[in-house]
Chains A and B, each alone.
Chain A
Amino acid sequence: MTALLEARDLSVIFPIGRTLFRAGQSLRALNNVQFSLERGEVLALVGESGCGKSTLAKVLLGIQAPTAGEVFFDGRPLADQSRRDLARRVQPIFQDPYSSLNPRHTIADLIALPLFVRREVSTAQARAEAREMMGLVGLPRRLEHAYPGQLSGGQRQRVAIARALVTRPELVICDEPTSALDVSVQAQILNLLQEMKETFDLTYLFISHDLSTVRHFSDRVAVMYLGQIVEIGATADVIDRPLHPYAQKLKNAVLPADPSRGLPPLRFDGGFPDPTNPPPGCPFHPRCPDAFEICPRLRPDRIAQGASQVACHLYDPRHRAAAPDHSAKET
């Protein structure tokens, strides 16, 4: 069985600061990203701001062309599929429900937008389907003629979910769907997403930086750093027993539920590297506590380690011997 979605060696390079008279620089937002997503699976994508999560989402939605590499949807290259066709099968849910709903349209019209655009059903039929979706996502019917400005953040996100699902897509790309919401509402929206997954047999690519949400929600996790996937594997493995030093730092950065334990020690040296001038070799080596002499020189390959894959020289048998305390890293 072919994977629903497969990304092969995706790279995206943005030229920045280029004018008629100046060459400018290039920003490598994605660097040889490779993963696959099975039907019915939830793959979480975690990483700090600026690591390329949202660019990856745009490439998968077909609104940003990759500079190199290919995306296969249901075994066919994304580039060969028409915008309309793809729009029915892949839909996004955005982070900020205040920006993702046009303030000039009514709720029913917002939800029916993908149907209006396709012009396959009449306007009345599209509105009827929108009303049906409102019921499914738990929006009261009387909001049909309301405007987004009259709704709460949680209700707005329900509208966004209803709009994404009205064409019955197969893959939904959720770009931090709960991070703009109150904590009390986050759980409601996550439960709704879970419920919709079961109702409509959905596959989710779930972008987040909240590891506790990810643990609750996803089957597999991919950790991104500076446009690369540095570790990918089953949720329990990646969250609880991370291999890559960056994933370990991420895990340690999660605040404990017990306030008496204080803030976790981070000891991150330096800030996030400049993506226009990435460090040579392994992109994480300037901040890595376990870096050794090969790290600044050679970009690590992805290595299978147990059920996970990790891009780190510490796990590469060719270089492991040179690591300063490799015994501590053996699993």
Chain B
Amino acid sequence: MASNLHQPTDLPEVLPLSPRREMLLRAQGHKGFLIGLAIVTLAALCAVLAPVIAPHDPYVQDLTNRLLPPVWQDGGSAAHLLGTDQFGRDLLSRVIYGARVTMLVGVGAVVVSGFIGSLLGLLGGYFGGWVDSAVVFLTSVKLAMPGVLIALSLLTIFGGSLLSITLIVGFLFWDRFAIVVRTATQQLRSSDFITAAETAGASKAWIIGREILPNVLNQIIVVASLEMAIAILVEASLSFLGLGIQPPMPSWGLLVSEGRPYLMFKPYLINVPGLTIFVLVVGINLLGDGLRDILSPRGRA
């Protein structure tokens, strides 16, 4: 039944690469992405495998071995590679266990804020009208609030714990998700494939979940990686101020705070956790920038 004007169907024809394969190729050639991925993977491994790789129990105090210097300084020993703190606890073990807190707060806060922000952005962008006005209003209110200040006051009310700090940071940093997802959804809203799904009888939930969400997922992932860096910094700041994670639980911000009285004489107590925070945040940002380049190379301005 096919007329001779139809394309020949039996000719071998080279297909362009599939989107997934294209992304993989781009990822392999992206140095920043690979470095970021290595750093974040290392931090994640530390968090997951802390009980296996930490040389000591991070909570055990050993008052005879207080304030031991790290191994490269005079008086340092191989038993405590990064030295010990004022209670004789092994700093390396505390940093490794601190990765758990950091990663948990980072991932947990981004899951909460990503869910809130993406949902608001999808609803506002898809429905428009008064729903969109409500979303824009909420986002503006959120942007007008001093985030860290509100986190501080909420933490004084609810007390600092892993759960409260994760939820508070999550509830306070969803605005960027909402803005990015809303704009992306608005652009997709007028696409013919949305109209095609509507005329096929798809429900609104179907259109948002199956047609729009896969197309904005890349943007969500990129924002999530950058927001995770912010969440980690906020957690470190709050813990440093004494309102976040409570001792003796090791958090990198708390380690910096605990080392503060010894700034002049034992600078490694601050340098080591400070450097780990710095390296992880740089790594996450590299990963986020790399993800943006890899997932949407055409979206780059």
B1 located at the interface, meaning its Cβ lies under 8 Å from any Cβ of chain A in the complex: yes
25 contacts between A and B (CB under 8 A): A61-B199, A63-B195, A83-B201, A84-B201, A87-B199, A91-B200, A94-B196, A101-B193, A105-B214, A113-B200, A117-B203, A117-B206, A138-B6, A138-B7, A138-B9, A139-B9, A140-B10, A142-B15, A146-B15, A150-B15, A154-B7, A163-B196, A188-B6, A191-B6, A195-B3
Residues in B neighbouring A163, C-beta threshold 8 A: 196, 200
**A188 CB contact (under 8 Å) in B1, B7, B9, B197:** B7
Interface SS of chain A:
helix
Residues of B within 8 A of A143 (CB): 15
Q: What number of B residues sit within 8 Å (CB to CB) of A?
A: 30
How distant is the Cα of A147 from the Cα of B211 in the complex, in angstroms?
14
Closest Cβ of chain A to B135, distance in Å, is 17
CB < 8 Å: which of B9, B193, B198 contacts A100?
B193
Question: Which residues of B lie under 8 Å from residue A117 when comparing CB positions?
Answer: 197, 200-203, 206
Indicate with 1 or 0, residue by residue over A126-142, a CB within 8 angstroms of chain B CB atoms: 00000000000011101
Interface pair A94/B215, CB less than 8 Å apart:
no
CB distance from A145 to the nearest CB of B (A): 8
Tell me which residues across on chain B come within 8 A of A22, comparing CB atoms. Answer: none
Closest chain-A Cβ to B218's Cβ sits at a distance in Å of: 10
- Give the complex CA separation of A92 and B7 in angstroms: 23
Instruction: Tell me if A192 counts as interface (CB < 8 A to partner B).
Output: yes
What per-residue 1/0 map shows which CB atoms of A187-202 lie under 8 Å from chain B? 1100110010001000
**Closest CB in chain A relative to B258 CB, distance in Å:** 48
Write the nearest CB–CB distance from A107 to chain B, whole angstroms: 11
B117 to chain A minimum Cβ distance, whole angstroms, is 21
Q: Are B19's CB and A188's CB within 8 A? A: no
Any B CB within 8 A of the CB of A102 = yes
**Cα A80 to Cα B16 with chains together (Å):** 46
How far is A80 from B45 in the complex, measured between Cα atoms in Å?
Answer: 60
Partner among A102, A138, A139, A147 whose Cβ is within 8 Å of the Cβ of B18: A147
Interface check A66, CB cutoff 8 A: no
Interface assignment of A118: CB less than 8 Å from any CB of chain B: yes
Closest CB pairs A-B (n = 4): A87-B201, A100-B192, A104-B214, A114-B200
Contacts A87-B200, A118-B201 given: A195-B214 contact, CB under 8 Å?
A: no
Minimum CB–CB distance for B11 against chain A, Å: 9
Task: Answer whether residue A327 sits at the interface, using C-beta atoms and an 8 A cutoff.
Answer: no
Is A90 close to B, CB under 8 A?
Answer: yes
Give A241 to B195 CA distance when docked, in angstroms.
37
A146 CA to B14 CA in the complex, in Å? 12
**What are the residues of chain A within 8 A of B193 when measuring CB–CB?**
99-102
Q: Would you call A289 an interface residue if the criterion is a C-beta within 8 Å of the partner chain's C-beta atoms? A: no
CB distance from A127 to the nearest CB of B (A): 15
Q: What is the distance, in angstroms, from A170's C-beta to the closest C-beta of chain B?
A: 14
A100 to chain B, nearest CB (A): 4
B196 touches A63 (CB 8 A): no
Q: Mark B191-227, 1 if CB is under 8 A from A, else 0.
A: 1110111111111001000010011000000000000
